[in-house]
A and B are shown apart, each in its own frame.
Chain A
Amino acid sequence: MNSWITSNVWLIPAAPILAALLILAFGKAARRAAAPFAVIGQLTALTMSIFAFVPTLHSHGFRSVQNFTWFTFGEQTLRIGFVLDPLAAAMLIMIALVGLCIFVFSIGYMAEDKNFSRFFAYLSFFSGAMLGVVIANSLLLLFVFWELVGLASYLLIGFWIERPSAAAAAKKAFITTRIGDMGFFLGILWLYHRSGTLLFYDGGRGCLESVGLLALGASATFIALLIFCGAAGKSGQFPLHVWLPDAMEGPTPVSALIHAATMVAAGVFLVARVYPIFLVGAINGVTPSLTVVVWIGVATGLMAALIAVAQFDIKRILAYSTVSQLGLMMVSLGVGGVAAGIMHLLAHGFFKALLFLGAGSVIHGCHHEQDIRKMGGLRRLMPVTFSTYAIGMMALSGVPFFFSGGWTKEEILHATSQWPRSHIPYYLMLVGVFLTALYMTRQIIFVFFGNRRAASEHVHESPGVMTIPLIVLAVCAILFSVVLTPAWPWLENYLTGYPARFDPHLLIQPMIIVSLALVGAGVSLGIWMYRRAAGSDPIQQAQPALFRFLENKMWIDEIYDRTVIALAAIAARFSDWMDRYVWDGLVRGVGAIGHFLARLTTGADERVINAGVDEGTVGAHGFGRLMSRRHSGQIQTYLGAIALGMLALVLLYAWLG
């Protein structure tokens, strides 16, 4: 089974995609079968992922590759393939497991929706596409799945397309990520041009292997940055992050899927996958391209954390926390902590899915109210949701020791502090950690503590189909810590290909103290500040201008509207105008000249040539009239004329003699 799956790893994404196709093919008739199909598809993928995971444990640095020819053009072949290595295997399990929880949760959450079956088809397709991304062994194949992930997110964000805001958000997501993807596409072309192959691993000739990397030379920096454009688009990095908070317009399980397991994970994964390209020409692990990654990550992380402090929509706070965490992961990758970044991605997948589904449960219970100012006191009404949400919150805030997020965050901080180039990212990251603890405390106080407010009436705990996935994810968020601790850094060693050793002395690192202090400060400040906040925000009262700046997301959307989008719209109208009046104007001008010439010749015809002919004809006509008068038909006239003529002839002869 194990060896069979390593050579048929493509079956893992195929299972959910097949489920999606079956559901779509049966259409509305499949309403009852849709959820079982989707769940079975996902369960199959999870089972196969586990089987695929097992062989990667046996030998360190395991990598199994299946390449094949996609098509032949001219005499050239384009080869693609699938790869199974620790990075892929770990991602497969996370995606399949988190996806499965979200699927099950959706059965309850979407029960009333009239397009229930279509929803599950899209979910399955989304999951399948993402599974494809992680096992692709070719940048081209990765791009194919990458775009399908984009398509699926478009379909799901715009699932309630009858709402104008959802239709707009879907469009925004597709276009914003596509801007990044165009850079990615150019990066692919450039890489293909330089290295002659797009296969990652191909027995030493792949583009991530020594020969391929050597061929890149100085262009590696540009290629890496172009690829990073794509990653920035999908993973919501500044300045392409604007679509991610709007993606909240989709149903909440979709938000969970996008923010945890699929869409945003793709960008971070991509950077990790093509990391050797980023490393070409590295001195001390620093390259220009990685430096860009670090600074973009820092800017994103801090900006999003600040914005999250001033949001009132329960999902929007989580959305900005995702953007912020993704920034953190990018920083980690940029400073060289690839394993730490991926570990945080995996851990984040669990606890962010948990938080989003928890938020979904809250929204479901509060009859689709999303404003945290209208909630309050839910902890007694929704005990399961509350306790699991609290676990998610602590994992996200990075509470050390018991929660996965704490360990991975500590790893990232550690890696960042070691960056030889500058210490500023490290200090800014510390601010980010503090802010995260603050805004998560704020959220949980508003929603679950205090007095009941408007939306808290008639609240009920969600059904088991929704709470069980929450419990599973909460358990994962905690248990996952076991493989993350510095004492037994099993996952890190698994990802980097070293055997792990248990050493309890390493459990307490200095960084964990820093981490603990910051989180403690954030949570305490949060409790102190918001403990009496009932329906209003203390920062809003103290600093209204600052709060408005953050609440309006630093007006980045507005700035884009007035610059890039306005400019593009002007360019479109200008193109249309040029077409109508300049290019077509020229054509019509030529036509008009032709027409004018035609008129001119017509005129010349009528006045000169024709007139001459007319004159001629008139003359001839008059002559004819004159002549016809002579042909009077009277014999005496003729005889007289003949007589005259005869006389004239006789006289002529006589005279000439």
Chain B
Amino acid sequence: MVGLISALILIPLAGAIALYIGQPKNARTVALIFNALSAFYALLLWQKFDATAPGLQIAERHAWIPSIGAEYLVGVDGLSLLLVLLTSLVFPFAFCAQRLERGACALMLVMQAALYGTFTAQNFVLWFLFYEMSLIPAFLLIKIYGGENRDFAAVKFFIYTFFGSVAMLLAFLGIYFAKGTFDFATLAGLGKSGLLTGNLKWFAFAGIFLGLAVKVPLFPFHTWLPDAYQTAPTGVSMVLTGGLSKMGVYGFIRLLVPLFPNEIKIAGPWLLALVVCSIVFAPLAAWAQRDLKRMVAYLSINHLGYCLLGLFAITARSTSSLIDTQAALSGVFLQIFNHGITAAALFYFVGLLEQRRGLRGIDDFGGLMQRTPLLCGWMSVAMFSSLGLPGLNGFIGEFLIFKGSFAVAASVTAIAVLGLLFTAVTFMRAMQSLFGGPLVESCSGFSDLIRSEKLVIVPVTLLMFAIGILPQFIFNIFNATVTHMARLFA
């Protein structure tokens, strides 16, 4: 009998195999059917999940390679469940964004399975397997189906992230040889008293940090991202930002912080400095971009920076109170989810513009409000969500993060607020030149949102409003986990 989580991981894989063997004409439809099935399982998981219990739930444990401490252990807590739900949401959204070829659909499904695995695995070997498994389809999707400059971007993406992964693997081997276990929970328990000694602990810390910092990405390890996101097909950009980038943040929360609580306190000021650079320089760079996709890509770096700001602020200082820790952690969790849907939606809209125009430079459009008011309206909602307008999802997460980080790192937070301003400036400029002014000749034949596009965008937007106005249902998923982790970190 296959457990619920295993089934969740296997369904997309089965879909990929079905696409490979069956060679169906309409690959996207098949992929979406499998997506519906995995979404159903994810909802089932949510329904079975006991929101009041802090620890691991619905776990499955099987012996795998006992000689190296590897076992098949999957399970969910609030954070994992949140990310599983996000994955189940982002993938169908991405499939709807454009008609991908059969091979691309299969690769996307493999990536989806890898993401489910990454977010549920509780043993390093298994986790790392899934973590790397997501890399290869992403590489191939960019390399085969990408746009201009795809070979370079794909290789850069692969080598950069793989380099990070190797550093992380070496670090974990070091930990394994010292402690003899790969189990997350056991390692986290050992973390307080110090996993390793001497220089080795700093090598291990640096290795894991590097691997995750590249993945998120954190300034200055981010330069693979604009190239990769820009080149990838719309749907792939959506899952890269909505799914893959979350693996890095997840890793920080699940691995680095629990395993190295003391080291983070020492390295804290440096980490916060990098985060602030992410938050301030990324939207400034976004402002300077002419390519809309590149612009959204840079803003993604900024938004993930907020996640790390909250996380590092509360863990870098021992003075943070329980309420601030809980605020920041809740904010980080919410921000992970929010960024997943909002950034994906932004890429979706850029994709719609690109489909209509064939180009996606910010100067290739103008006066769209006269021709496609609905498209402009709904796209504005996504933009306002991204710039943190109250009433939409982005605001609450950012408020809680800032609330938590202000208490312990006021000056850092004060600088980080500039990021909110620059994000607004970037979007305002984009809206002005896309929607405003006289209608540009080349845009005069555009069609407004068609029914199938509305069917995709309306539910996603409603979700943004729901989280922005009545967010309790999202908090319920992870409140117990937040409480538990806050005690652990404080």
Contacts and interface: CB of A to CB of B under 8 A. Distances in A.
Contacts of B400: 73
B406 A190 contact: yes
Contact of A151 (B322, B389, B414, B470): B389
Contacts of B224: 587
B135 interface: no
A140 B384 contact: no
B390 A147 contact: yes
B438 A162 contact: yes
A578 interface: yes
Interface string A158-199: 100111101110110011001100100110011011001000
Which 9 A-B residue pairings sit nearest by Cβ, starting from the closest?
Answer: A167-B436, A74-B326, A73-B330, A576-B288, A144-B390, A584-B223, A575-B284, A575-B285, A572-B287
Interface stretch (B80-88, B116-124, B195-203, B416-424): B416-424
Interface in B429-459: 429, 431-432, 435-439
A175 B482 contact: no
Contact of B323 (A76, A164, A166, A584): A76
A76 B323 CA distance: 7
Interface in A554-592: 568, 571-576, 578-579, 583-584, 586-587, 591
Contacts of B413: 186, 189
B407 A193 contact: yes
A152 B439 CA distance: 23
Contacts of A572: 284-285, 287-288, 422
Nearest to B330: A73
Contact of A76 (B160, B326, B428): B326
Contact of A144 (B327, B391, B475): B391
A579 B399 CA distance: 28
Given A144-B391, A193-B407, A579-B223, A74 B329 contact: yes
B414 A186 contact: yes
B285 A164 contact: no
Nearest to A145: B390
B421 A178 contact: yes
A185 B402 contact: yes
A72 interface: yes
Interface residues of A, number: 49
A162 B432 CA distance: 10
A249 B327 CA distance: 42
A609 B48 CA distance: 63
Interface in A141-158: 143-145, 147-148, 151, 158
A621 B25 CA distance: 57
A151 B472 contact: no
B486 interface: yes
B56 interface: no
Contact of A162 (B226, B330, B437): B437
Given A73-B400, A161-B435, A587-B224, A178 B284 contact: no
Contacts of A162: 367, 369-370, 436-439
Contacts of B282: 575
Contacts of A179: 421
Interface in A182-218: 182, 185-186, 189-190, 192-193, 196
Contact of A73 (B326, B395, B418): B326
Main secondary structure of the interface of B (DSSP, over half): helix
B483 A573 contact: no
A406 to B, nearest CB: 39
A113 interface: no
A167 B413 CA distance: 32
B230 interface: no
13 contacts: A72-B472, A72-B475, A74-B329, A76-B326, A147-B395, A161-B436, A162-B367, A162-B370, A175-B424, A572-B285, A572-B422, A575-B285, A576-B288
A160 to B, nearest CB: 10
A167 B326 contact: no
B391 A189 contact: no
B250 to A, nearest CB: 19
A413 to B, nearest CB: 38
A148 to B, nearest CB: 6
Contact of A186 (B226, B287, B417): B417
A445 B422 CA distance: 45
A175 B428 contact: yes
A167 B432 contact: yes
Interface string B280-313: 0110110111000000000000000000000000
Contacts of A75: 322, 326, 479, 483
Contacts of B322: 75
Contacts of A147: 389-391, 395
Interface string B316-335: 00000011111101110000
Given A583-B222, A591-B159, A193 B406 contact: yes
B96 to A, nearest CB: 23
B220 A74 contact: no
Nearest to A578: B281
A182 B420 contact: yes
A578 B429 CA distance: 21
A161 B424 contact: no
A486 to B, nearest CB: 41
Given A72-B479, A575-B281, A578-B281, A587 B160 contact: yes
B425 interface: yes
Contacts of B219: 583
B471 interface: yes
Contacts of B223: 579, 583-584, 587
Most A CB contacts (10 A, CB to CB) among B284, B437, B482 go to: B284
Given A167-B436, A168-B432, A576 B421 contact: no
A354 B197 CA distance: 76
